[in-house]
Amino acid sequence: MKKFIYIIFALITSLALVSCGSNSTTASFSSPNAKVAVSQAAAPKVTVQSVLAAADKGKYREGELLVKFKSGVAVKTAASLHQAMGAAVERRFAAVPNLERVKLAAGMPVKDAIVRYMQDPSVEYAEPNYLRYPKDSVPNDLYFNPQQWALSNIGAFAGGTAGADIKMPQAWDFARGSRGVVVAVIDSGVDLNHPDLVNNIWKNGGETSCVDGIDNDNNGFIDDCVGWNFADGNNDPTDNLGHGTHVAGIIGAMGNNGMGIAGVMWNTSIMPLKFITDFGPDVCGPGADFCGSVADEVAAIQYAMNNGAKVINASFGAGGYSQTEFDAINAANSAGVLFIAAAGNGTLDSLGDNNDLTPVYPANYNLPNIISVAATDQNDRRATFSNFGPNTVHVAAPGVYILSTVPSTGVSMSFSSMCTDSFVAGYDFCAGTSMAAPHVAGLAGLLESYYGQFTPAQVRATILRYVDVLPTLQGWIQTGGRINAYRAVTSLLPPDGLSASAQSSGAIKLSWTDMATGESGYKIERKAGSGDFVQIAEVAANTTSYSDSGLSASTTYTYRVRAFNTIPADSLYSNEAAATTSAGGSDGTNGGGGCSVGGRLNGPSAFGDTMVMLAPLFAVFVMSRLRRRKK
């Protein structure tokens, strides 16, 4: 009779395994393949200590384990062990014989499960189901390494320091921008036909003809197909200085196109709005050929607001508070447009000035949509020429030896003192806070494209919060940090792999994988049956499980989880996961995930609970045997 019960138990177990997608039919794990594997390579011996040490160094999925049994171990032996652990087999692998992907009992820590599995003599090893990520996205643009040190510093350019950069390859694993995000470059125009920019120039879809002399989209500008020239009052915002083209390339030169450089955004829509031109010294003052007026600038801001720009780059400035300029940027704030402004370059002995004492406008206006940007060099030091200001300058970004696009004829004399004029046609190294600001504008656009649910205030706060604080910047600017695109982009990734598992008639356990890097915690939402989701709890940062109790018996509950931070902002939701509580009256268990057989953590009671759950099946089986015997 004992043997009879055992056979029934094994049968039921294998049924449960099959229902989980297992293809188990053999009585024991095959050994021929294992022999081949042994003869091929002598793998280093895996121990509990080595597995636990490795687990500390990698990210892995919660609630799962990879368990490899020794060759020749009976399937039923393995099944009993899983039963005792309250775990269930989800998959086997032809490529790695005797390996099983196991779903752990809800709430069981992966490391505890490793220790317990590896204590069993039938187990060769048990290890976490590690997460793997695409390799850092290094683009194939010709001059990416080592010239674009600002985006990825390998320490091989101009005596620079590896890692003194804004972490673009890591950020590009997640976000590369979008043509739908429009960044206005209010500057000296843009080389519209530059081969590394041409596909990322904004196109006014409403202006159906560019040459019919008609304002087709009725926006007040005739034939404005690619922006506007406010300096000359025409539809051609072609760059005659080189400055605006350099700025545009930093924000959005076409990335990974095998040519030239990569912009912070590989894909974007650069809206060229020209207001600076060669008015000459009569207008601009002694020794100055190029300048622009606030009236033309304000007209450009208004155009950007009215035609879909989310971000404005303003790599210009000077003294002289202008109420008009303030009001226009304030209007852009109301319209949800960010305004990224260069903090300015020093005038006295070319050393940087303190903007707290000597204001530079527009960077210095106290408006919530402005980010004032200082410049750092290839060693993460404040550029000597860069203005600073503990209260008025917010972040820093690279602004020395910045390689970007310029017109094929090079930059005008008026800008050449800031550039090297020593690189190939169409590209040049230039310096200035004018070059720092567009790194921030590009990051703002990247965040706009990736976090569609963010408000501009949330984008700005994310950029400011996730800087790398540097000793060379602390005390000099408000955040004391240089922007870090990777930290900003990954700050609120949604939780992954949410699973729900019923523990009893009144409790369900949730587990998920923490993907965010800067969260304050997680918000948990639940709905019963076909009801609406309601938030039921907030749990702390880095939490990966939650026990929901006080539930009704025999009821299906669905859950979703999202991260939140102090920006304040919420991530997108995780997947939804559902579980059904068991029938009331006892502490019967229920494998809510659809695969787990037992629900309890302790071996003996898990076995007992399993038998309770299987009792009805068992009774039916015995009855049928008895009936057959009678016949």
Q: Which is nearer to Ca ion, 218 or 530 (CB)?
A: 218
Name the helix (H) or strand (E) containing 502: strand 496-502
Q: Which is nearer to Ca ion, 70 or 179 (CB)?
A: 179
The answer to whether 371 and 416 are in contact (CB under 8 A) is: no
The answer to whether 245 and 239 are in contact (CB under 8 A) is: yes
- Is 278 among the catalytic positions? no
β-pair partners for 570: 564
SS3 content of the chain, % helix, strand, coil (to 5): 25, 25, 50
Q: How far is the CB of 426 from Ca ion (least distance, A)?
A: 10
Q: How far is the CB of 268 from Ca ion (least distance, A)?
A: 13
DSSP assignment string, 109-138: -HHHHHHHHHHSTTEEEEE--B--------
Q: Which is nearer to Ca ion, 261 or 342 (CB)?
A: 261
| Strands annotated E in 159-285 | 177-187, 228-229, 267-274
Q: How far is the CB of 207 from Ca ion (least distance, A)?
A: 5
Q: Which is nearer to Ca ion, 165 or 207 (CB)?
A: 207
User: Which positions touch Ca ion (CB under 5 A)?
Assistant: 141, 196, 207, 215, 217, 219, 221, 224, 254, 257, 259-260
556-565 and 534-540 strand pairing? unpaired
Q: Which is nearer to Ca ion, 124 or 215 (CB)?
A: 215
CA distance 189 to 272: 6
Structure-block tokens of residue 516: 């965010």
Q: How far is the CB of 218 from Ca ion (least distance, A)?
A: 7
Dihedral over alpha carbons 346, 318, 271, 464 (to 10 degrees): 60
Q: Which is nearer to Ca ion, 427 or 522 (CB)?
A: 427
Q: How far is the CB of 260 from Ca ion (least distance, A)?
A: 4
**Of 516, 501, 507, nearest to 574 (Cα)?**
516
Q: How far is the CB of 302 from Ca ion (least distance, A)?
A: 14
**Of 114, 63, 67, 51, nearest to 496 (Cα)?**
63
Catalytic residue among 71, 188, 434, 501: 434
| Strands annotated E in 32-191 | 64-69, 88-92, 99-103, 123-127, 177-187
**Of 148, 138, 140, nearest to 403 (Cα)?**
148
Q: Which is nearer to Ca ion, 34 or 184 (CB)?
A: 184
The answer to whether 225 and 204 are in contact (CB under 8 A) is: yes
CA distance 267 to 478: 30
459 SS3 class: helix
Catalytic residue among 120, 141, 165, 187: 187
Q: Which is nearer to Ca ion, 209 or 552 (CB)?
A: 209
Fill in the DSSP letter of residue 198: G
- Is 511 among the catalytic positions? no
Catalytic residue among 82, 243, 246, 394: 243
Burial class (CB in 10 A: 0-12, 13-18, 19+), 7: exposed
- Is 71 among the catalytic positions? no
**Of 60, 184, 136, nearest to 490 (Cα)?**
136
The answer to whether 110 and 104 are in contact (CB under 8 A) is: yes
Q: How far is the CB of 306 from Ca ion (least distance, A)?
A: 10
Q: Which residues are CB-neighbours of 482 under 8 A, at least 6 positions away?
A: 166, 376, 380, 395, 396, 397, 398, 467, 468, 470, 473
The answer to whether 512 and 497 are in contact (CB under 8 A) is: yes
Q: How far is the CB of 216 from Ca ion (least distance, A)?
A: 6
Q: What are phi and psi of 283, to 5 degrees?
A: -95, -45
Q: Which is nearer to Ca ion, 195 or 603 (CB)?
A: 195
Q: How far is the CB of 170 from Ca ion (least distance, A)?
A: 19
Q: How far is the CB of 203 from Ca ion (least distance, A)?
A: 12
Q: Which is nearer to Ca ion, 252 or 599 (CB)?
A: 252
Q: Which is nearer to Ca ion, 92 or 203 (CB)?
A: 203
Q: Which is nearer to Ca ion, 209 or 547 (CB)?
A: 209
Q: Is 604 left (phi over 0), alpha (psi -120 to 50) or beta?
A: alpha
**Of 248, 252, 257, 274, nearest to 179 (Cα)?**
252
CA distance 105 to 124: 21
Q: How far is the CB of 462 from Ca ion (least distance, A)?
A: 26
Name the helix (H) or strand (E) containing 510: strand 508-513
- Half-sphere exposure of residue 80: CA atoms within 13 angstroms, side-chain side: 11
CA distance 249 to 245: 6
Q: How far is the CB of 144 from Ca ion (least distance, A)?
A: 8
Q: Which residues are catalytic?
A: 187, 243, 434
